[in-house]
Amino acid sequence: MAITLVQVDFPHQGPWGDEMAQAMEGLAQSIAAEPGFVFKYWTENRDQGRAGGVYGFAGRPEAEAYLAMHSERLKGFGYSDIRGMIFEVNETLSRIDNAPVL
């Protein structure tokens, strides 16, 4: 399966860890229902005050649509300095390095 990755991060002052998991459960369920969605790694860096994620989508069109929608949603939540990028996966090299979900 070809995977297209979306990487998003933004300034975040908390909550973190288990508190974030409780606060964001509804958002996680919403993300899981997005067209073409395969997985998400939720990311957080308390030291730098940034949170976000790395998402896998079944194709680039779904990834692009999600990134546009999610960036607007984050702005609606009051976040700014949102960084979002889309990457194609080099499956050959990723398999060598045991990447999950390929």
Q: Which tokens sit at 54?
A: 């790395």
Q: What is the pLDDT of residues 87-102, one digit of tens each?
A: 999 999 999 999 886 5
Q: What is the pLDDT of residues 42-86, one digit of tens each?
A: 999 999 999 999 999 999 999 999 999 999 999 999 999 999 999
Buried b (16+ CB within 10 A) or exposed e, 41-56: eeebeeeeebbbbebb
- Listed in order, strand segments (DSSP E) in 12-74 are 37-45, 50-57
Is 90 exceeded by the pLDDT of residue 1? no
How much is the pTM? 0.91
Q: Which residue has the tokens 């998003």?
A: 8
Please, are residues 14 and 20 in contact by the beta-carbon 8 Å criterion? yes
Alpha-carbon distances of 55 from 5, 12, 47, rounded to whole Å: 5, 18, 22
pLDDT attached to residue 101: 65
Task: Spell out the domains of the chain, with CATH numbers in brackets.
Answer: 1-55 (3.30.70.100)
